[in-house]
Amino acid sequence: MSLPRALCSGLVALLLLVGSSAGARAQGSPSIDIRVTAQSYPPLVAVRNVLAENDYDELLRNGFPVRMHIRAELWTVGRYFDDVRGRVEWDVILQYNVVEKSYEVARLVGDRVTALGSYRYFADARAASELAYLPALPAPKRGQKGYVLVQAGVQALEVTDLDELERWLRGEARPAVRGKRSPASALTRGVRTLASRILGAEVRQLEARSPTLVF
């Protein structure tokens, strides 16, 4: 029995990726930019150059969405131990729309979805994913010493996430890891799992901390 053309293309792309990912080179050094002072709070956070490799473009074009998860925390300096006083987490999701031949970018904060645009070129979509965000961290007390800690990671969406994401993009559901999956062949699930494993072996994990400030 012959495989669907789209699935064959996905398999070919994944095989090429396995052979070429070791030689991929980033266009810039991945980094987290935290812009904060005692007078300009909450901080502006931007994650740069994490998607600056061709393998992500290949995966997106073959139906594998990519998620960048960011967590920002406010820490206060104690006499003996530092304490976390607030935390905000959000996701930036990229997916390729085969029909429109465009890259869709969105930011998810809790149940709130903000579209960051639809782009013809991957470079433009990547730039949109790097837009600075102002997380709603709680304000520290006046006179307290503290700092902002930010962590970021990029991975392929889990197999159980993919169908839910597709429904959300069609306006049928919000993105979540719950509910029934739409029917999929064992082979399709296997290809998706392979994509997750490929990226899982190369998940980018970043961490950055702001200078200690007196608020």
How many C-beta atoms lie closer than 10 Å to residue 14's C-beta? 19
Instruction: Give Cβ neighbours of residue 93 (< 8 Å, ≥ 6 apart).
Output: 65, 66, 67, 68, 105, 106, 107, 108, 157, 165, 175
Reported pTM:
0.71
Q: Classify residue 101 by its DSSP letter.
A: T
The residue type of 176 is: A
Per the structure block, which two tokens stand in for 86?
């607030």
**pLDDT at position 166, please?**
56
Domain ranges of the chain: 5-159+188-214
Q: Is the pLDDT of residue 17 over 50?
A: no
Cα–Cα distance, 7 to 155 (Å, whole number): 21
Compute the average pLDDT of residues 44-73: 88
Tokens coding 130: 């790097």
pLDDT digits (tens, 9 = 90+) for 98-155: 999 999 999 999 989 999 999 999 999 999 999 999 999 999 889 999 999 999 998 7
CB of 74 closer than 8 Å to CB of 137? yes
CA angle (17, 19, 23) in 5-degree steps = 90
Distance CA 56, CA 44 (A): 25
Please give the Cα distance from 108 to 129 (Å, whole number). 12
Name the burial class of residue 215, with classes exposed (0-12), middle (13-18) and buried (19+) by CB atoms within 10 angstroms of its CB.
Answer: middle
